Chains A and B, each alone.
Chain A
Amino acid sequence: NAGVTQTPKFQVLKTGQSMTLQCAQDMNHEYMSWYRQDPGMGLRLIHYSVGAGITDQGEVPNGYNVSRSTTEDFPLRLLSAAPSQTSVYFCASSYSRRPLFHYGYTFGSGTRLTVV
């Protein structure tokens, strides 16, 4: 089924460890983004990409790194995990050019990360 696939679904890290959250889409969407969802804070944009080789920061980028080497994949790296990064992470994708981006966003099922 076409869509956004995130792995892993659950992860527990120790403070200071690094890891990569994977995100892949098969809809040929140019635009991909990462959000984190925290109780009382809603969903906030971490990083986004408008196409292969192009990335930019969102609202809460500190502690995270991204790259976009292909249209399909947009991994999110935690460089040195901190308890404040305990959250649910969602990857989303969309077309980036008018009028196609009027189709809206497709979200993955999320990665629930706990940092102890």
Chain B
Amino acid sequence: KQEVTQIPAALSVPEGENLVLNCSFTDSAIYNLQWFRQDPGKGLTSLLLIQSSQREQTSGRLNASLDKSSGRSTLYIAASQPGDSATYLCAADSGSARQLTFGSGTQLTVLP
């Protein structure tokens, strides 16, 4: 059974810092790995998708990497802004049911 872990559970940084969010998964037989953002009381917004054959994806100030052999993905946020404050979730797409297995998230607070 796939298990996904995110570290840290919460992170508070001053505006302008570069930061790294970590995601690890136990079963490397994934189709892809997706990073989402969730604002309080809101739905999930897809940030980046990394296919199993890719090593990284970039969108603006966000960069996500994938190392299947070690079961790890990282989300790098450059020059953080208060508007980046949210919970960040990673999810591994795997299994015959193509079940998305989610981590418990990292709650990010960027202080002005």
* Interface 9-mer from A13-21, A66-74, A79-87, A103-111: A103-111
B63 near A: Cβ within 8 Å? no
Q: Tell me if B44 and A42 are in contact (CB < 8 A).
A: no
Q: B interface vs A, CB < 8 Å?
A: 31-32, 34, 36, 41-46, 49, 51, 89, 91, 93, 97-100, 102-105
> How many chain-A residues does the 8 Å CB contact rule pick out?
26
Q: With CB as the reference atom, state the residue of chain B lying closest to A40.
A: B104
A-side residues, CB < 8 A to B, are 31, 33, 35, 40, 42-43, 45, 48, 56, 58-59, 90, 92, 94, 96, 101-110, 112
Contacting pair B46 A104 (CB below 8 A): yes
Write out the residue numbers on chain B whose beta carbons fall within 8 Å of the beta carbon of A110: 42-43
Interface of B is mostly: strand
A102-B99 contact in complex given A108-B43, A109-B43, C-beta closer than 8 Å? no
Chain A: which residue is nearest B104 at the CB level? A42
Q: Which 10 A-B pairs have the closest CB atoms?
A: A109-B43, A104-B49, A107-B44, A43-B102, A102-B51, A42-B102, A110-B43, A104-B34, A45-B99, A42-B104
Enumerate 9 A-B pairs (CB-CB under 8 Å) in ascending A order. A42-B102, A45-B99, A94-B98, A101-B93, A104-B34, A104-B46, A105-B91, A107-B44, A107-B46
Contact A31 to B34, CB < 8 A, known contacts A105-B46, A109-B43: no
C-alpha spacing A94/B49, complex, angstroms: 13
> Measured between alpha carbons, how far is A48 from B100 in the docked complex, in Å?
11
**Contact residues in B for A48 (Cβ distance below 8 Å):** 97-99
